[in-house]
Amino acid sequence: MSHEEKLKNYRTAPFDARFPNTNQTRNCYQNYLDYHRCNKALTAKDKDPAPCEWYHRVYKSLCPIAWVQKWDDQLEAGTFPGKI
Partner 1 sequence: MAHQAHAYHMVDPSPWPLTGAVAALLLTSGTAIWMHFNSMSLMSLGMILLLLTIYQWWRDIIREGTFQGHHTPPVQKGLRYGMILFITSEVFFFLGFFWAFYHSSLAPTPELGGCWPPTGITTLDPFEVPLLNTAVLLASGVTVTWAHHSIMEGQRKQAIQSLTLTILLGFYFTFLQGMEYYEAPFTIADGVYGSTFFVATGFHGLHVIIGSSFLAVCLLRQVQFHFTSKHHFGFEAAAWYWHFVDVVWLFLYISIYWWGS
Residues found near partner 1 in the complex (CB under 8 A): 25-26, 29, 33, 67, 71, 81-83
Shortest Å distance, C-beta 38 to partner 1? 16
For partner 1, which is the closer residue by CB, 8 or 18? 18
The answer to whether the CB of 46 falls within 8 A of the CB of 80 is no
Shortest Å distance, C-beta 79 to partner 1? 9
CA 52 centroid distance within chain: 8
For partner 1, which is the closer residue by CB, 47 or 64? 64
Collapsing DSSP to helix, strand or coil, 10 comes out as coil
